[in-house]
């Protein structure tokens, strides 16, 4: 499975699991990702896959 914030792979028995009251399950590789996901920073944080994808789309590159 992948981290819900940075999209890095999370090994079995590692990381953190967060379950919301509506039943949505989120997996995190570290507490750093969990904190940033709570404040919805994925588009602004340089080390996330979402940031890299958006940056390459702005430059006209497709990967």
Q: Where are the domains of the chain?
A: 1-63
Q: What is the pLDDT of residues 2-48, one digit of tens each?
A: 888 888 899 888 999 999 899 999 999 998 888 888 877 655 666 67
Tell me the whole-structure pTM to 2 decimals. Answer: 0.62
Q: Which fold has domain 1-63?
A: Ribosomal Protein L24e; Chain: T; (2.30.170)
Q: 12-48 as b/e, with b when 16 or more CB fall inside 10 Å?
A: eeebeeeeeeeeeebbbbbeebbebbeeeebeeeeeb
Q: What is the pLDDT of residue 17?
A: 93
């Amino acid at each position: 499975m992948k981290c819900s914030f940075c999209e890095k792979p999370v090994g079995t028995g590692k990381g953190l699991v967060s379950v919301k009251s509506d039943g949505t399950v989120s997996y995190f590789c570290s507490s750093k990702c969990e904190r940033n996901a709570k404040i919805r920073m994925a588009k602004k944080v340089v080390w996330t896959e979402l940031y890299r994808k958006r940056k390459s789309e702005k430059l006209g590159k497709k990967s």
